[in-house]
A and B are shown apart, each in its own frame.
Chain A
């Protein structure tokens, strides 16, 4: 069974750093892209970027380029999303999802349960 299990909810202060994780199981982790998607409270889905764990090829949405870093450790089948300095506007639910049918883009067939990030002074 394919599963993506994300790390738990985080409460941080503005300016702090954060790294959240997404562990894949039930499939060959290095053969599929992993995407990160943001959902701000009461809002829609925003694609942040995607990584191919097999070779760490990474693509970012222009809206998130330079704001976050996406990485992966294929030895432990885990992808990461990190911030060096959080802002209040980073407060959101963050989902990882497996990319499938990828050619010039991917749809997402399996999703993690989400990680809620709260940023408050």
Chain B
């Protein structure tokens, strides 16, 4: 299995801050990486696919970068609606598709 490791596990930040979440793959996954946002009691929402492509309708303050084994999700200026849990997911292989453990972004 390809292991996905996110850091940090929890991040405290304020509205207006620039924040970065990192995701590392245990082996190269090229750019086959997606990022999701999940709020309590709701289904995950796709933010970024293919490492840096912004899903339609997602605000431009979200951006993704990286390739190979190191990836980042950046929120340029945190908004109140952004406090949630974020997951990375590799789709380099079905055997199996794997998620990171999640990063909880909370209000400082």
Q: Which residues of A contact B (CB under 8 A)?
A: 35, 37, 44-47, 49-50, 59-63, 95, 97, 100-109, 111-114
Count residues on chain B whose CB falls below 8 Å from chain A CBs: 27
Chain A nearest CB, measured from B60 CB (Å): 18
Whether A105 lies near B46 (C-beta < 8 A) is: no
Q: Which residues of B contact A (CB under 8 A)?
A: 1, 32, 34, 36, 38, 43-46, 49-50, 55, 87, 89-102
Whether B97 lies near A35 (C-beta < 8 A) is: yes
Q: How far is the CA of A59 from the CA of B96 in the complex (A)?
A: 8
Q: How far is the CA of A100 from the CA of B32 in the complex (A)?
A: 12
Whether A111 lies near B91 (C-beta < 8 A) is: no
Q: B34's closest neighbor in chain A, by CB?
A: A107
Q: How far is the CA of A46 from the CA of B96 in the complex (A)?
A: 10
Whether A47 lies near B43 (C-beta < 8 A) is: no
Q: How far is the CA of A103 from the CA of B92 in the complex (A)?
A: 8
Known A-B contacts A44-B102, A59-B94, A109-B55; the reply to A101 vs B49 at CB < 8 A is yes
Whether B91 lies near A106 (C-beta < 8 A) is: yes
Find B46's partner among A45, A62, A108, A112 (CB 8 Å cutoff): A108
15 A-B residue pairs with CB within 8 Å: A45-B38, A47-B96, A50-B97, A59-B95, A61-B96, A62-B1, A95-B43, A101-B50, A104-B94, A105-B90, A105-B92, A105-B97, A107-B46, A107-B49, A114-B43
